[in-house]
């Protein structure tokens, strides 16, 4: 773990690492050691040896081709029960960024916070929170964006990179600058209390919103329509029989 430089972009303090197990774990380890990392610190790695995905998944990313970063946030004004707002704001920021690079394709947020270009995943987000008393003490927001990678391992479901749609290889530093601008804007919306706007934009960008599709829950396959996402982040579906269902993460799968 060798830190090669430190800089600021849009008010975020950037720590660049050549190689690390996982940027999320690196931030966690710093906090556990009592290092005083500031709100808004971003740890960026050229290579992750054990990138973490949601649940038990891993995040595979070819060294030097993509953006792999974790942001430390200390959102003291956001009560723990409102933490899903942060997921929405981050997903919106990453999708804002993807939209500027690929303006002519449909960019969607696949619940809870994967970023899709048409039917392919271009970015994933992994958020872990530490709650102390009635405050979110620290939040580690891990973001992986496939930027210039051309080939992906067979076992990754539906991967794609920005490079597939951009006419040329993308400059990772320019991508980071742009992403940071959107992250700052969306975070400020939370601070300014623009929660209704975040909620409605998140819903309007949802992948497969209000369309009839197949889903899988346990051994059961069924057809339903996404009708929304609850305040606590549950996916809300309506079946063709008119039943309303709610699922937490990993309780339901999209059949794509």
Counting contacts by CB under 6 A, is residue 29 touching ligand BTN? no
In the list 68, 87, 95, 148, the residue contacting ligand BTN (rule: CB under 6 A) is 68
The pairing of beta strand 12-20 with beta strand 41-48: parallel
The contacts of residue 232 (CB under 8 Å, 6+ apart) are 81, 84
Counting contacts by CB under 6 A, is residue 27 touching ligand BTN? no
Counting contacts by CB under 6 A, is residue 114 touching ligand BTN? yes
As a whole number of Å, the CA-based R_g of the chain is 18
Instruction: Tell me which residue has tokens 């320019």.
Output: 174
Taking CB under 6 A as the binding criterion, the range among 44-52, 130-138, 173-181, 190-198 that sits at the site for ligand BTN is 44-52
In the list 9, 126, 139, 176, the residue contacting ligand BTN (rule: CB under 6 A) is 126
Counting contacts by CB under 6 A, is residue 22 touching ligand BTN? yes
Q: Which CB, 91 or 190, lies closer to ligand BTN?
A: 91
Q: Which CB, 101 or 125, lies closer to ligand BTN?
A: 125
Q: Which CB, 41 or 219, lies closer to ligand BTN?
A: 41
Residues that bind ligand BTN (CB under 6 A): 22-24, 48, 51-54, 57, 59, 68-70, 114, 124-126, 142-144
């Amino acid at each position: 773990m060798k830190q090669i430089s430190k800089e600021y972009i849009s008010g975020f303090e950037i720590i660049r690492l050549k190689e690390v197990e996982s940027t999320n774990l690196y931030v966690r380890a710093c906090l556990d050691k009592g290092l005083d990392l500031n709100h808004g610190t971003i740890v960026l790695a050229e290579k992750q040896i054990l990138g973490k995905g949601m649940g038990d998944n891993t995040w595979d990313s070819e060294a030097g081709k993509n953006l792999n970063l974790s942001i430390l946030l200390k959102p003291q004004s956001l009560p723990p029960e409102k933490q899903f707002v942060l997921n929405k704001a981050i997903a919106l920021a990453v999708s804002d960024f993807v939209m500027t690079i690929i303006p002519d394709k449909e960019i969607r947020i696949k619940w809870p916070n994967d970023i899709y270009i048409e039917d392919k995943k271009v970015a994933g987000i992994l958020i872990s929170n530490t709650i102390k008393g009635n405050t979110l003490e620290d939040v580690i927001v891990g973001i992986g964006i496939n930027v210039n990678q051309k080939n992906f391992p067979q076992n990754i479901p539906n991967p794609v990179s920005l490079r597939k749609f951009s006419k040329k290889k993308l400059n990772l530093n320019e991508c980071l600058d742009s992403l940071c601008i959107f992250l700052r804007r969306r975070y400020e919306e939370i601070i300014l209390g623009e929660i209704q706007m975040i909620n409605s934009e998140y819903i309007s960008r949802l992948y497969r919103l209000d369309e009839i599709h197949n889903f899988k829950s346990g051994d059961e396959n069924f057809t339903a329509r996404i009708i929304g996402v609850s305040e606590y982040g549950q996916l809300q579906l309506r079946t063709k029989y008119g039943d309303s269902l709610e699922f937490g993460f990993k309780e339901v799968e999209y059949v794509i």
